[in-house]
């Protein structure tokens, strides 16, 4: 063994000697890993460190009364279950390293080096240091001569200093209510000290010091920071204490000691008297209460149910006062920011509070770096430890953490993007944490995967668990979030405020209100012509994920006339009333909806959609951009989204907005195609049946069609055995037809099956509408479960209760042209509901194909233009039919069935 390794071993041995109290109490032989390293067996040292860590975690498990029996648990399980009860990020990192090394050492073929063994022991020392230096009763046991509350406070203050890089040098119990603590740390070539006396009250401290003559405090240490921390002042005057202590001591209250390290008033200064975007410029009396409901989730079914309703501010304050993590959802402008800012500014909720606006966080900046940067100016010293301090205060349950506009902090609005951000956030969460986040309903509530992620009681799919692990998130680290959902009034606070300010009539769409505000602002500042330039600059910037702008950016993008008198400062910008500061020399829109409106205006031009489709990383799209685009295009009309009425069932080549609400994309349809106006009917399919060979196949079969496939319907699965013989069903969709049969039928008619991209584009139009007729749900236009039940079916429990009984026996496919109101912008009928429809697209498995549109037994929320599923090609169902398309000749020649790749479809259906 080298001299360097020997020296490191000697140093580790000395450090382990400092933890004999824990070793003696738990029966740990801390010398054994070192002997294994001495003998040249680092793999044994790693294994022994793993065993010692297991003993420590089992004791921690029992101390916190974690549910279950720790004696049968392995290291991985112990770390997972104890993680929420560990306040130190250093200890968490150490445990992860020990677990990783232990797992490697047990893997055949992996060589464990001396460095691995030394690292394992080093990380074990880091774990022991925390519990020894904080005096934690979790591993050290309690001190019988110290009052429990005093011991708890000593542990917190010690943990605070350990987090700041100190180590405990001395600890004396002067009385059950008074303890002396001394901490030191290396600072360059010298040592820094913090001398601290903690007492329940000043009277007890005075009595103790008088009885001891103050001898204990007569040290020769550099008196850099000396504190007396008292819970209450009692009857002792500060002057009397100073006579005993000397004038170089600072006397502070316990609940104010953190202020000596970080000035949270400075951190929260921007919230004092500040107004959230949706209430910008509104007088206090105009900020009416917002109604909300608190939801909880059934741990067995994963279904949400309302547990209480009331004023959102009161619900949030009550939850945040305890150890509760809360998700606040609501549509844009619903008052989320107002609520969260007020919560963070209220000292009655928590003594210590942190507030971060993630809408101002650069997308490529990790949350840890963003938080450290925001907190650094508030640190009295040790700015490099700002984030560590923040983690300690939150994980210990001492402080409240408010994360506003959480959905705006993700790299992309999708489960994958959410998980990336949650990887950073997960370090903040613990069994004692109180974290409040806000997000738009469309981002979280519309994504079943994200809803499951935020509720640890709900059953998670294997796919979600795999995705979490792939993105670096341990599912066991994601705690339960209470959900507070803001109700949707006729007017949101943002709409109400702007409507009154602009003198508009109530009830106007948000796009109209924001447009009026933009126009008025620029007109008042003498630059009305500038509005025409905003979509191509700031609107397109949003689509490339730019929401923060330097003043020089605005000067370059908008021109010198965007600033008054040639001054490049925020007040001189003609958009100043619509902007808010976002750090030194940077601004952002006062509400993201303004920039989303400009993005929608940009996308309203087909040429711009084509340009956006070519963005290397794809467009950054939100559900609000899509909704604005639908409003701008008058989604209630029968046009194609460009104001042009169509009825030829031709989907023109071009760029279209596709995908679910949490993963919107713009993809290009390369060639024009003509859709069947209606799904293939029984009458049409019957003509095909007459042309089949005796074995049920045909000369139009797919070359890869498996043997023994027949194109005759699965009559034993039909709900009506005479479905294909009785003329009454002639206009009903052809069902119980497998994919191979649908392919052959299309070829029989000289056509083909559409790709899933073509299908969705034809259903949505150029404005990305939610339903073929627009954005408003209407059960009278579609054959779905809601129509059969006679009211909205919101949850699975409601579907099972109201539809799966009597209604499901009555429900079924109806004639393909029975609902003319279910019409796409291109004149195609009945694209959602009634029956799922086969497409030519396969994603991962060639034996499966994508189906689109939903069917009669799905609720309204599951029969949207973006609705997709996967079905085996050999399957046949009463709820699955199909329609065909025909390529339209263009100057470039006809399109082919393979014109859209599976990669595009995989993204669109993710």
Q: Are residues 660 and 624 in the same domain?
A: no
Tell me what pLDDT residue 601 has.
Answer: 96
Region 870-897: mean pLDDT is 78
Residue 563, beta-bridge partner list:
573
What letters, b where the CB count within 10 A reaches 16 and e where it falls short, cover 828-845? bbbbbbbbbbbbbbbbee
Structure tokens at 255: 């609940």
Question: Which is more confidently placed, 721 or 897?
Answer: 721
Which one of 465, 486, 507 terminates a domain? 486
Q: Are residues 306 and 392 in the same domain?
A: yes
The answer to which of 300-314, 678-692, 722-736 has the lowest mean pLDDT is 300-314
Residue 725 lies in a domain: yes
Q: Are residues 742 and 656 in the same domain?
A: yes
Distance CA 580, CA 570 (A): 9
Residue 814 lies in a domain: yes
Which residue, among 252, 179, 174, 235, has the nearest Cα to 210 in the 3D structure?
174
Q: Inform me whether the pLDDT recorded for 32 exceeds 50.
A: yes
Q: Is the dihedral of CA 4, 6, 10, 16 positive or negative?
A: positive
3-state SS assignment for residue 701:
coil
Region 229-243: mean pLDDT is 66
Residue partners of 636: CB distance under 8 A and separation at least 6: 773, 774, 776
Q: How confident is the model at residue 618 (pLDDT cuts 50, 70, 90)?
A: confident
Q: In this structure, what DSSP letter does residue 549 have?
A: E
Q: How confident is the model at residue 882 (pLDDT cuts 50, 70, 90)?
A: very high
Q: Are residues 506 and 395 in the same domain?
A: no
Region 818-841: mean pLDDT is 95
Q: Are residues 296 and 331 in the same domain?
A: yes
Tell me what pLDDT residue 853 has.
Answer: 95
Q: Are residues 623 and 672 in the same domain?
A: no
Q: Inform me whether the pLDDT recorded for 475 exceeds 80.
A: no
Distance CA 825, CA 816 (A): 17
* Strand bridging mode 326-330 / 482-486: parallel
Q: Inform me whether the pLDDT recorded for 908 exceeds 80.
A: no
Residue 145 lies in a domain: no
Tell me what pLDDT residue 402 has.
Answer: 94
pLDDT 10s digits, 172-201: 888 899 898 999 988 777 888 888 889 888
Kindly report the pTM of this predicted structure: 0.76
Question: Which is more confidently placed, 688 or 300?
Answer: 688
Tell me what pLDDT residue 886 has.
Answer: 96
The answer to which of 300-304, 307-311, 377-381 has the lowest mean pLDDT is 300-304
pLDDT 10s digits, 57-75: 999 999 999 888 999 899 9
Chain-wide mean pLDDT for the chain? 83
The answer to which of 453-467, 499-513, 845-859 has the lowest mean pLDDT is 453-467
Residue 151 lies in a domain: no
Tell me what pLDDT residue 770 has.
Answer: 92
Q: Are residues 744 and 847 in the same domain?
A: yes
Which one of 420, 454, 486 terminates a domain? 486
Tell me what pLDDT residue 458 has.
Answer: 39
Q: Are residues 775 and 726 in the same domain?
A: yes
The answer to which of 152-161, 272-281, 390-399 has the lowest mean pLDDT is 272-281
Tell me what pLDDT residue 172 has.
Answer: 87
Distance CA 393, CA 391 (A): 6
How many Å separate Cα 77 from the centre of its chain? 25
Residue 482 lies in a domain: yes
3-state SS assignment for residue 580:
strand
Which residue, among 557, 485, 613, has the nearest Cα to 904 in the 3D structure?
613
Q: Are residues 688 and 743 in the same domain?
A: yes
Please compute Rg for the chain using Cα positions. Answer: 33
Distance CA 17, CA 4 (A): 20
Q: Are residues 326 and 368 in the same domain?
A: yes
The answer to which of 250-259, 430-439, 483-492, 677-686 has the lowest mean pLDDT is 483-492
Q: Which range, 244-248, 358-362, 608-612, has the best average confidence (pLDDT)?
A: 608-612
C-alpha angle 736-737-743 in degrees, rounded to nearest 5: 165
How many Å separate Cα 814 from the centre of its chain? 40
Q: Are residues 166 and 40 in the same domain?
A: no
Q: Are residues 575 and 712 in the same domain?
A: no
Which one of 599, 632, 665 terminates a domain? 632
Distance CA 848, CA 249 (A): 76
Q: The domain that contains 20 carries what CATH number?
A: 1.20.120
Q: How confident is the model at residue 253 (pLDDT cuts 50, 70, 90)?
A: confident
Q: The domain that contains 439 carries what CATH number?
A: 3.40.50
Q: The domain that contains 896 carries what CATH number?
A: 3.90.1580.10
Task: Find the domain containing 189 and state its range.
Answer: 161-259
Question: Which is more confidently placed, 599 or 693?
Answer: 599
- Provide the number of structural domains found in the chain: 5
Q: 88 vs 387, 413, 428, 868, CA distance in Å?
A: 12, 31, 10, 45
Q: Inform me whether the pLDDT recorded for 844 exceeds 70.
A: yes
Tell me what pLDDT residue 441 has.
Answer: 64
Residue 215 lies in a domain: yes
């Amino acid at each position: 063994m080298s001299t360097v390794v020997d020296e490191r071993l000697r140093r580790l041995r000395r450090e382990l000697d400092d933890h004999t109290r824990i070793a003696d109490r738990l029966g740990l032989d801390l010398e054994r890993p070192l002997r294994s390293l001495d003998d040249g067996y680092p793999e044994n040292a790693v294994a022994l460190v793993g065993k010692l860590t297991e003993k420590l975690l089992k004791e921690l498990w029992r101390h916190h009364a974690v549910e279950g029996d720790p004696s049968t648990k392995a290291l991985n399980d112990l770390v997972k279950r104890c993680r929420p009860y560990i306040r130190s990020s250093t200890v968490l990192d150490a445990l992860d390293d020990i677990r990783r090394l232990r797992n490697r050492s047990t893997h055949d073929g992996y060589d464990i080096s001396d460095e691995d063994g030394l690292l394992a022991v080093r990380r074990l020392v880091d774990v022991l240091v925390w519990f020894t230096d904080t005096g934690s009763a979790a591993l050290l046991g309690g001190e019988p001569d110290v009052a429990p509350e005093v011991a708890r406070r000593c542990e917190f203050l010690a943990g605070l200093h350990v987090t700041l890089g100190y180590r405990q040098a001395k600890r004396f119990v002067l009385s059950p209510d008074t303890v002396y603590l001394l901490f030191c740390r290396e600072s360059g070539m010298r040592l820094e000290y913090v001398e601290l006396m903690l007492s329940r009250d000043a009277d007890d401290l005075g009595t103790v010091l008088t009885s001891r003559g103050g001898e204990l405090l007569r040290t020769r240490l550099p008196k850099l920071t000396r504190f007396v921390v008292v819970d209450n002042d009692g009857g002792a005057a500060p002057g009397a204490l100073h006579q005993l202590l000397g004038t170089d001591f600072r006397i502070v209250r316990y609940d104010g000691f953190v202020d000596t390290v970080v000035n949270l008033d400075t951190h929260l200064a921007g919230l004092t008297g500040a107004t959230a975007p949706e209430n910008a410029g509104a007088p206090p009396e105009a900020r009416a209460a917002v109604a909300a409901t608190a939801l909880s989730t059934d741990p067995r079914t994963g279904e949400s149910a309302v547990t209480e309703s009331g004023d959102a501010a009161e619900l949030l304050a009550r939850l945040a006062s305890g150890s509760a993590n809360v998700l606040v959802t609501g549509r844009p402008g619903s008052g989320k920011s107002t609520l969260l800012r007020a919560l963070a500014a209220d000292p009655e909720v928590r003594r210590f509070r942190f507030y971060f606006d993630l809408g101002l966080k650069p997308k490529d900046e990790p949350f840890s770096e963003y938080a450290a940067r925001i907190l650094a100016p508030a640190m009295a010293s040790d700015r490099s430890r700002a984030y560590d301090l923040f983690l300690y205060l939150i994980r210990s349950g001492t402080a409240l953490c408010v994360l506003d506009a959480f959905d705006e902090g993700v790299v992309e609005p999708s489960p994958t993007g959410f998980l990336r951000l949650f990887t950073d956030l997960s370090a903040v969460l613990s069994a004692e944490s109180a974290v409040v986040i806000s997000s738009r309903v469309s981002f979280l509530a519309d994504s079943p995967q994200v809803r499951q992620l935020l509720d640890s009681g709900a059953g998670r799919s294997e796919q979600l668990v795999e995705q979490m692990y792939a993105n670096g998130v341990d599912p066991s680290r994601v705690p339960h979030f209470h959900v507070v959902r803001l109700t949707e009034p006729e007017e949101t606070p943002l709409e109400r405020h702007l409507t009154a300010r602009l003198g508009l009539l109530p009830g106007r769409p948000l796009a109209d209100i924001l447009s009026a505000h933009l126009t008025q602002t620029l007109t008042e500042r003498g630059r009305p012509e500038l509005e025409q330039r905003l979509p191509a600059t700031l609107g397109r910037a949003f689509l490339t994920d730019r929401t923060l702008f330097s003043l020089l950016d605005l000067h370059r993008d908008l021109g010198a006339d965007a600033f008054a008198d040639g001054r490049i400062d925020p007040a001189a910008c003609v958009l100043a009333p619509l902007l808010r500061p976002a750090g030194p020399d940077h601004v952002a829109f006062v509400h993201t909806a303004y920039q989303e409106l400009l993005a929608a205006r940009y996308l309203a031009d087909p040429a711009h959609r084509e340009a956006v489709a070519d963005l290397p990383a794809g467009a950054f799209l939100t559900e609000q951009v899509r909704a604005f685009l639908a409003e701008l295009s008058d989604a209630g009309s029968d046009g194609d989204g460009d104001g042009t009425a169509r009825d030829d069932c031709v989907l023109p080549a071009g760029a279209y907005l596709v995908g679910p609400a949490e993963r919107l994309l713009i993809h290009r349809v390369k060639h024009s195609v003509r859709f069947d106006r209606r799904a293939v009917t029984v009458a049409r399919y019957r003509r095909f049946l007459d042309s089949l060979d005796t074995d049920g196949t045909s000369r139009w079969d797919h070359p890869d069609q498996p043997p023994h496939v027949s194109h005759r319907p699965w009559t034993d699965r039909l709900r009506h055995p005479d479905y294909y013989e009785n003329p009454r069903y002639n206009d009903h969709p052809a069902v119980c037809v497998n994919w191979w049969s649908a392919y052959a039928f299309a070829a029989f008619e000289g056509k083909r099956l559409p790709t899933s991209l073509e299908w969705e584009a034809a259903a949505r139009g150029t404005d990305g509408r939610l339903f073929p007729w627009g954005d408003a749900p209407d059960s009278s236009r579609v054959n779905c479960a809601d129509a059969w039940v006679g009211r909205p079916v919101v949850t699975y429990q409601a579907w099972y209760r109201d539809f799966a009984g009597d209604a499901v026996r009555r429900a079924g496919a109806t004639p393909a042209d029975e609902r003319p109101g279910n019409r796409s912008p291109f004149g195609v009928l009945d694209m959602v509901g009634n029956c799922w429809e086969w497409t030519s697209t396969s994603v991962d498995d060639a034996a499966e194909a994508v189906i689109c549109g939903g069917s009669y037994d799905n609720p309204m929320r599951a029969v949207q233009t973006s609705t997709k599923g996967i079905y085996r090609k050999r399957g046949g169902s009463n709820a699955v039919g199909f329609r065909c398309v025909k390529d339209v000749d263009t100057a470039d020649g006809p399109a082919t069935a393979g014109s859209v790749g599976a990669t595009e479809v995989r993204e669109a259906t993710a």
